[in-house]
Amino acid sequence: MSRYSRRMVRPRCMAGFTLIELMVVIVIISVLAVIAIPRYERYITVEKAQVVAQNFHSAIAATTVAVAVADAGQVTQLANVGGDMVATTTDPASLLSSIAPNPVLGAGCAAATPDKCAFTAATKPSGPAQCGQVVLDTVTNNPVDTRPGMIAPGITGDLMLYVDADCSNATMGQDIVHALLADDMVSATPQTSSGGITVPACSTASASTAICQVDVGVNGSVTP
C-alpha cells in the first residue's frame, strides 16, 4: 500500500458535537427540569406551611401564658394595634406584633402593604383572603378587653386564635391545614371549648371557610 493510501484510510479526529448529541442533551435537561421544578415548588409551599404552623404554635403558647398571668393581675398586649409599639405600664410591649411579616405572602409588612402583616381581628383589613395570617381575636368572646389584642385581669370568655387558610393558591391552603393537623394544634372535627364555644373543624373542603381555629379558655385550657 502506498504512503498516500495509508493517509486516506487513517481515521480523522472529530471536533465538537453532532446535532443528534446536542438534541439528546437538551432532551435530558428538559426531562430533569420537568421533574425538578415541580418538586422544588412543592418543597417551598410545604416549608411555608411549616412556618405558619410554628407561628400559630407560638401564638397559642403566648396566649396561654398571658391568660395565666392575667389571673395574677398582669396586663399583656399580645398583638399591637395600629402600629402602636410604645411600651407603657398599661400597654406593655407586644409579644405578637402586628407588624410581623406574613410567612406565606413574604416580607414587606407596612401600612402600604397590609396584606403582608399579621393582625388582631379588629385590625385585619377587609378584602382578599390573607393567606397564612395568624389572627388573635380577644374581642368577640371577651368584651372585658380594653383594646384589641390585650389580655387583662377579669377576662370572662374564650380567646380565639385562627389561621387564614383560604389561599388563592389552593395547594398552599391545604398544606397549611395539613401542617396544623399534623402538629395536633387543630382538629378535623368540631370541638366544644371549656367556655361552651364551638370550635369549627379545620378543613380545606369547598364548603368550609378554611379557617383553622383554637380557643384558649379563662382557665388556660386550649381547644382543641
The reported pLDDT for the residue numbered 80 is: 64
Low-confidence ranges of the chain (pLDDT < 50): 83-92
Domain for residue 2, yes or no?
no
pLDDT per residue as tens digits for the range 1-51? 555 555 555 555 556 678 888 888 888 888 887 788 888 888 888 898 998
Domain for residue 65, yes or no?
yes
Q: To the nearest 10°, the Cα dihedral for 97, 101, 103, 104?
A: 120
Tracing cell 397549611 back to the chain, one arrives at 176
CA-to-CA distance for 51 and 104, rounded, in angstroms?
Answer: 8
Domain for residue 11, yes or no?
no
Domain for residue 125, yes or no?
yes
**How does DSSP assign 93-112, residue by residue?**
PPSB-TTSBBTTTBS--BTT
The reported pLDDT for the residue numbered 82 is: 52
Q: Give 100's contacts (C-beta < 8 A, 6+ positions apart).
A: 109, 117, 118
The reported pLDDT for the residue numbered 98 is: 65
Domain for residue 49, yes or no?
yes
Q: How far is CA 89 from the centre of its chain?
A: 32
Domain for residue 29, yes or no?
yes
The count of structural domains within the chain is 1
Domain for residue 10, yes or no?
no
Partners of 223 in beta bridges: 215
Domain for residue 179, yes or no?
yes
Domain that holds residue 47: 17-223
The reported pLDDT for the residue numbered 91 is: 44
